[in-house]
Amino acid sequence: MKAIPAGMRFGRCAVLGAALAAALAWTAGSAAQQYPTRPIRVVIPFPPGGNVDTFARVLLRYVEEDLGQPMVIDNRGGANGIVGADTVAKAAPDGYTIMVTSFGLAVNQYIVKKLPFDLRTDFLPVTNIAIGTGYLMVSHPGVPVKTVKDVIALAKSQPGQLRYSTAGIGNGQHLAGALFALKAGIDMLHVPYKGGGPALNAVLGGEVQIHYPAGSVGIPQVKAGRVRGIAFTGEKRLSSLPEMPTIGETLPGFVADAGWHAVFAPPKTPPAIVTRLQQAIRKALQVPLVHENFVSNGYQPTGDAPAVWAKAYQEELKRLAEIAKAAKLEPQ
């Protein structure tokens, strides 16, 4: 048998390699064009009833209409979102497992010494859903406070005794509460729960005196009289509660936003699938009912393209380091 010249062997390998690459590219492209062909699991790394869960349920009804497949919500609370996020980081990168979470995910690097994932490489940014302008400050109706000045006075009369609940250590509610205590020069006891729902139940049940819910969760409770609305942590008053002052009106310069809500996929999810998801989410955010739901509850809808959100997410990881320092968060 005649030996095949080395140059010819190399040439055949190159041709075969190119053909294989083209076939794989065609297969991936074809799969992306057909996507989705079955239900999509949406991991929300918090218990039901919190603001991430509440907003996601309103939004995803319209996303699934556009995609033509059910969006199945999987609430996996625990460790400020770490438990649920870890399942997504390790899921198959096929577009059938995604995550809707808050900026608390990014804060975890400043409160946990060893995470089971890398925040920079183990999550593929799909899009940012919305940016929160702030939280409500509410109290149990039985607490003798009606204004920010009342809260400060009560806290000063009982150092370390006034308790406020949040969705977890390092959560946006925690940062808002810590910043308020710092600016007001008071000592309040932070009581973290496993999510926004349990944290709200704590103030409803009188386990704590103060809570910082997102508008979507807190406004219905304020209007129903189950909690007393004290103030808003954002820069401007909420359009849906114009009578409620901002904390900054009492403490000049105080502003605490509610961070972002965003969608992530496992790393190596095909770009075409990521784009398809982002486009469906952006379209759903433009539905008048969805848009108004976000705006009236203190959130500004976004829906940026994957590349735009990916860049902003990396910058956010750096920015949150300064906030974590101000809140005196220490990795445990």
The pLDDT assigned to 30 comes to 56
The DSSP symbol for 246 reads: B
> What is the DSSP track for 147-205?
SHHHHHHHHHHSTTT-EEEESSTTSHHHHHHHHHHHHHT---EEEE-SSHHHHHHHHHT
Q: Which two tokens stand for residue 42?
A: 């949406």
The predicted model gives 286-307 an average pLDDT of 95
For residue 108, what are the contacts with CB-CB under 8 A and spacing of at least 6?
80, 81, 82, 115, 119, 170
Q: Residue 87 CB: number of other CB atoms within 10 A?
A: 16
Angstrom CA distances, 183 to 57, 150, 210, stand at: 35, 15, 17
Rg (CA), the chain: 23
Tokens of 116: 């089971």
Q: CA–CA distance from 65 to each of 18, 36, 71, 303, 327 (Å)?
A: 39, 12, 9, 17, 41
Residue 322's pLDDT band, with cuts at 50, 70 and 90, is: low
Helix (H, G, I), strand (E, B) or coil at 60: helix
Distance CA 134, CA 6 (A): 68
Q: What is the mean pLDDT of residues 206-218?
A: 94
Assign 23 a pLDDT band (cuts: 50, 70, 90).
very low
Residue 135 has pLDDT above 60, yes or no: yes
Mean pLDDT of 149-157: 98
> Binning pLDDT at 50, 70 and 90, where does residue 10 land?
very low
| 219-239 per-position pLDDT tens digit | 999 999 999 999 999 999 998
Taking the complete model, does pTM exceed 0.85, yes or no? no
For 145-175, letters b (16+ CB in 10 Å) and e give: beebeebbebbeeeeeebbbbbbbbbbbbbb
CA–CA–CA angle 320, 321, 327 (5° rounding): 85
Q: Please, are residues 288 and 71 in contact by the beta-carbon 8 Å criterion?
A: no
Query: Within a 10 A sphere around the Cβ of 25, how many other Cβ atoms?
Result: 10
* pLDDT value of position 137: 98
* Residue 199 backbone dihedrals phi, psi, to 5 degrees: -65, -40
37-41, 78-82, 160-164, 285-289 — which is least confidently predicted? 78-82
Which pLDDT belongs to residue 9?
Answer: 47
What share of the chain in percent tops pLDDT 70? 89
Q: Look at 20 and 49; give whichever has higher pLDDT.
A: 49
pLDDT of residue 279: 98
Domains of the chain are 39-131+258-326 (3.40.190.150), 136-249 (3.40.190.10)
* pLDDT value at 192 more than 50: yes
Distance of CA 331 to the CA centre of its chain: 20
Q: How confident is the model at residue 318 (pLDDT cuts 50, 70, 90)?
A: confident
pLDDT at 235: 92
> What rounded mean pLDDT belongs to the chain?
89
Whether 15 shows a pLDDT value over 90: the answer reads: no
Q: Is the pLDDT of residue 111 over 90?
A: no
pLDDT band at 330; cut points 50, 70, 90 = confident
